[in-house]
Structure 1
Amino acid sequence: MTGSGHLTPLPPGPIPRGWDLLTQERPRPGRLRDRPWAWRLAVATVCFGAFMGQLDASIVTLTYQPLGTEFHAGPAAVEWVSLAYLLALVALLVPAGRFSDGHGRKLMYLYGFAVFTAASAACGLAPGLAALVAFRVVQALGAALMQANSVALVTTSAPPGRMRSALGMQAAGQAIGLALGPTVGGALVATVGWRWVFLVNVPVGVFALLAGHFLLPRTRQRCGGSGVDGYSVLLLAAASAAALLALSVGSGLGLPLWTAAVLLAAAVAAGRAFVRRQSGRAEPLLDLSLLRPGGIAPGLFSGLCGYLILFGPLVLVPVELGRRGESALFAGLVLTALPLGFALAATLAERLLPSGWDDGVRSRLGMAGCVAALALMAVLPATAPVLPLPLGLLGLSLGVFTPANNTLVMRAVPPSAAGTGGGMVNMGRGVGTALGVAAVTLTLHLVPGPDGTRAAVLVLLGFALAALASCVGPRLRPRIRPRLRPRIRPRRDRGRGPGPSRLPGARTGPT
Structure 2
Amino acid sequence: MARAAGLRQLWHSLPLERFSTRENYIWLVVATVCIGAFMAALDASIVNVALPDLSTYFHSSASLVSWVLIAYLLTLATLLTLFGRLADILGRRPLYTFGFLVFIVGSAACGAAVNLPMLIISRIFQAAGAAMLQANSVAIITAAVPASVRGRAIGFQGSAQAIGLSLGPAIGGALIGLFGWRAIFYVNVPVGLIGTLMAAMILPKDKLQGHHATFDWWGTLLMTPFLVLLMMALTEGQSWGWTSPAVIGMFVAAALFLTGFIVRELSFRAPLVDMRLFKIAIFSLGNFTGLLSYLAMFGVLFLMPFYFERVLNYHSAVTGLILTAVPLGMTVAAPKSGALADRYGPRLLTTGGMALTGLATLMLAWTISLHAQVILIVMELVMVGVGLGMFTPPNNSSVMGSLPSSRLGVGGGILNMARSLGMALGTAVSGTVLAILLTAHGGIEQPGGPKAPWIPSTRVALLVLVGLSALAAVLSIFRVAGNSRPASGQSQESMPLEW
Q: Same fold (TM over 0.5)?
A: yes
Matched, 1:349 2:337: yes
Q: Which residue is equivalent to 1:198? A: 185
Please name the residue that 2:489 is paired with: none
The offset of 1:238, in angstroms, is 1.0
Counterpart Cα distance in 2 of 1:263 and 1:176: 33
Distance 1:315 1:21 in 2: 49
Residue 263 of structure 1, CA deviation: 1.3
Structure possessing the higher radius of gyration over alpha carbons: 1
**In structure 2, which of residues 32, 35, 39 is the aligned counterpart of residue 52 of structure 1?**
39
**1:331 alignment partner in structure 2:** 319
Counterpart CA distance in 2 for 1:42 and 1:227 is 29
Matching residue within 269, 283, 295 for 1:296: 283
Letter of the 1:452 counterpart = S
Q: Match for residue 441 of structure 1? A: 431
Task: Tell me what 1:34 maps to.
Answer: 21
Distance 1:47 1:76, change over 3 A: same
Q: Distance in 2 between matches of 1:26 and 1:475?
A: 42
Query: How many angstroms does 1:221 deviate by?
Result: 4.3
Query: Residue by residue, what CA displacement relative to the aligned partner does 1:343-386 show, whole Å, maximum 9, x if unpaired?
Result: 111133356x5874212221112112112212212333353232
**Deviation digits for residues 301-343 of structure 1, max 9, x if unmatched?**
0011111111111111110122222222332222111111011
Following the alignment from structure 2 to structure 1, what is the Cα–Cα distance between the partners of residues 132 and 106?
Answer: 13
| Offset from partner CA, 1:409-466 (integer Å, 9 cap, x none) | 0001111111111111110111011111111111110101221111111111121122
Q: Which amino acid aligns with 1:18?
A: G
Give the conservation status (yes or no) of the 8 Å contact 1:283–1:484.
Answer: no
Deviation at 1:256, TM superposition (A): 7.3
Q: Check the 8 A contact 2:406/2:498 in 1, yes or no.
A: no
Distance 1:178 1:124, change over 3 A: same
Aligned to 1:164: 151
**Equivalent residue, structure 1, for 2:448:** none
Question: Match of 1:485?
Answer: 498
Query: 1:183 deviation in Å?
Result: 2.2
Q: Distance in 1 between matches of 2:223 and 2:338?
A: 36
Q: Supply the AA of the counterpart residue of 1:425.
A: L
> Which of residues 398, 402, 409 is equivalent to 1:408?
398
The residue type paired with residue 459 of structure 1 is V
> Which of 73, 83, 86 pairs up with 1:86?
73
Partner Cα separation in structure 2 for residue 354 and residue 126 of structure 1: 45
1:282 alignment partner, SS class? coil
Quick one: which amino acid aligns to residue 477 of structure 2?
V
Q: Label 1:21 to 1:338 Cα distance change in 2 as closer, same or farther (>3 A).
A: farther
Q: CA deviation at 1:197?
A: 0.9
Specify the SS of the correspondent of 1:285.
coil
Alpha carbons of 1:70 and 1:166: their partners in 2 closer, same or farther (altered >3 Å)?
A: same
**One-letter amino acid matched to 1:146:** L
DSSP-derived class of the 2:375 partner: coil
User: What amino acid is aligned across from residue 288 of structure 2 in structure 1?
Assistant: F
1:301–1:470 Cα contact (<8 Å) kept: no
Name the CA distance, whole Å, in 1 between partners of 2:279 and 2:406: 19
Aligned ranges 1:17-28 → 2 under 5 Å:
18-20=6-8, 26-28=13-15
Hey, which of these two has a bigger chunk of helix by percent? 2
Q: Post-superposition shift, 1:70?
A: 1.6
Amino acid paired to 2:484 = P
Matched residue type, 1:121: A
- Cα distance in 2, alignment partners of residues 247 and 200 from structure 1: 31
Contact 1:117 1:202 in 2 (8 A): yes
Letter in 2 for 1:485: E
> Hey, what does 2:471 align to over in structure 1?
466
List per-residue Cα deviations over 1:135-167 (Å, max 9, x = no partner): 111111111111110111111121111100001
Assess if the C-alpha contact under 8 Å between 1:283 and 1:483 holds in 2.
Answer: no
Distance 1:76 1:224, change over 3 A: farther
**In 2, distance between residues paired with 1:103 and 1:77?**
37
Note if contact 1:105-1:219 (Cα within 8 Å) is conserved in structure 2.
Answer: yes
* Number of positions where the alignment pairs a residue of Structure 1 with one of Structure 2: 469
Using the TM superposition, give the Cα deviation of residue 187 of structure 1 relative to its aligned residue in structure 2, in angstroms.
1.7
Q: Which residue of 2 is the match for residue 423 of structure 1? A: 413
Shift of 1:293: 5.4
Distance 1:467 1:70, change over 3 A: same
What residue is the counterpart of 2:349 in the other structure?
362
Percent identical pairs in the alignment equals 37
Is 1:269 paired with 2:274?
A: no
For the 8 Å contact 1:223–1:416, the answer to whether it is kept is no
Q: TM-score if structure 2 supplies the norm length?
A: 0.89
Per the TM alignment, residue 27 of structure 1 is displaced from its structure 2 partner at its CA by 3.5
Structure 2 CA distance for partners of 1:416 and 1:67, relative to 1, 3 Å:
same
1:100-139 equivalences in 2 (<5 Å):
100-139=87-126
Cα pair distance change 1:132/1:195, threshold 3 Å? same
